[in-house]
Chains A and B, each alone.
Chain A
Amino acid sequence: MADFFLYFPQAFAPANLVALILGVFGGLILGATPGLSPTMAVALLVPFTFHMDSATGLTLLGAVYTATVAGGAISAILINIPGAPANIATLLDGYPMAKQGKSQTALYICFISSLVGGIFGMVIMILFTPPLAKIALKFGAPEMFWTAIFGITVMAGLSSGSIFKGLIGGMFGLLIATIGYSPVLGTPRFVWHDVLTGGVSIIPALIGLFAIPQVFALLETLGKDVAKVAFKPEKGVLFKTIQENLKMVKALSVGSIVGSLIGVIPGAGGQVAGLISYDQVRKMSNNPKSFGKGNPEGVAAAESANNAMVGPSLIPLLTLSVPGSPTAAVLLGGLLIHGLFPGPDLFTVHAEVTYTFIATLVLAQIVMCIFGLILSRYSYNVMRVPNLEMAAAVTILAVFGTYSVQNSFDDVIVMFSLGTLMYVGRKVGFSPAPVVLGIILGVIAEDNFLKGQLIASTDVGMFRYFFTGTINIIVISLCVLSILYSIYGEIRAYQKMKIQGERK
């Protein structure tokens, strides 16, 4: 902690400040653009930092990372397309709020909650790096497998209509994740066309599942007298929202804690943090039915979690070279091209660069909130773009964002195919969020299951390996509780419908 304060003034060096401001501003814009994920934005910038001073280059990458995660909420709230994977949970209540004419409030809640979660995550990162890194070290194959399964059980709560449809969607996502070559055995699976040889990557899937159905949905509104989700910034809303937002202690606390915990687990990322936090806050709420219909607590939970994840996701990265999120993995490339190798040396030999980087990340949270609140006032201009032009532009951006990740036209075809299928799926009550979660967790679940299976067969056997141990038992209990709660919710919904039917 003393080292952090010793190097904190370095964050205010002119070059670092310029990098910070440009990074945050650009990150917010990039984050708000559908399809341009934080991972892609940071990956695009890594080569540019090569010619910069190490601290300045890392400041730019860190600022973009922080701001894109928060900026993705702008498009999630205003046009129902998450700008980044981390904002999937934000649109569940953010977009309904916008439709109710509360866009300004939703955006303000998003940035204030991001600041609260972000600062919490950074404090966790600075204070608890050594003990949390030790806990992360204890997550072996069975613990990671059960963590993925826990994420899958969360899917049940994500479906707006039927739990079964939510679970089928999630399972469909898990199946999509198995397309291509088996990561452990190298056997091709479901490769029915050359396009599928490389499997389905998360970015094409994410863009396709969210952007393409939205394009077709925008066309449906042509010629119809549809209430547009537009707003005029009003005075006094900010002060009122800050007061209202800070009263959401439960949502902000759960979001910040869940985000920090998920962040420190390698590979999980902001999308998992946001969805789990959202689900937990919904379950703890006195009025869970209001979630998905524009409950501000839903936005606060999701946004505080995905930004709380940023700091802790760097803990295993800086100490063990294990990235806590896909973007942190790209950030590792940024560290390496500056000759900074993760490990104890970062905090001793390269202490100045490391602590300056951490200090600018803290500052980035504050600058992100200020810029985000200012941008929120003008983001309503996004809504002035006619739906037809928006549909054309979103299609082009979706193609561009998908292609530029791996320079692969196959990815574009996969993106469009999945998107078209999802559009039809949406028409019959399926939601894209469980499918995406399935794709993300499928790789983690299968990879760790097969690894665990191999280890268990030569060690203590499957049961003892997967079902004993404190962390395993805790995560398995959470899985069981999540499923039981979802079944309880379904039964209650059925009973309510029955009572209403009898009254009629």
Chain B
Amino acid sequence: MTGSQSVRLPTTAELTVATPEGVLFRLPLAGPALRLYAMLLDIAIVLAAVNGLGRLVYLVFAKAPGFGVLVITLAEFAIGFAYSALLEGFWNGQTIGKRLFHLRVIDQSGLPLHIEQAWVRNLMRLFDALPLAYLVGGISVLSSPLMQRFGDRVAGTLVVRETPLAVPLDEAWSRQKYNSFLEYPAIALRLRRAATPELASLIQDALRRRNELAPYARRDIYRDLAAYLQSEIAPFPDELIEMLSDEQYLINAAGVLFADQRLQMVRATFR
């Protein structure tokens, strides 16, 4: 299937932006692990670039090796800061590493960041990298609701995740031809009314991740979910339940919850 099938709801922190038109949208924030991978990749790229430049300088300054060292030392120092600052500033918040890991630096307001912000957050790395291996920055990310390191706090920026998305396709439960729950329109409508959005997305997630779950975990989760729905939300008759596996129970429930055309049928039957 397409990539959209494997995309899940953000489980980590998110930024909520309210536009002047009164529209709310959320952007999922990037956690420290992804950011670390992107940074390691960027460091590798910078090292490779400096190394290449070093060879060139060595050739050009063959007669004056001291000045070669001067040039390469200062270039290495400048590239270390400028690589991220310039790329983020002029490439809409992305370095090569961030682009590959689908991360982007943005302004706290949800808009792209300015070049000044890119410079500040990258110069502040000197502080975030303390005392070693970005410990200060890492603690700052973990303790901040917007997952900002100190450089981000000063510059007013944050890093968001941008997993590529496509318009979601039809789900398994909307493709099923017959749903025995719809034989009981009153109980089906009760299920639709009583199920919270959280419960509905829990069922959706459980079904979607069918093949990622270990068999015993799947059995337990499906059994618990079905039992909860049956006892707390909408009790379907026992003679129907006895014929259904827990998984089929959940597929039917999702069909009732998500597939909208069938709602028309339910209404029609009910009338």
A-B interaction: no
Mark B residues whose CB is within 8 Å of A: none
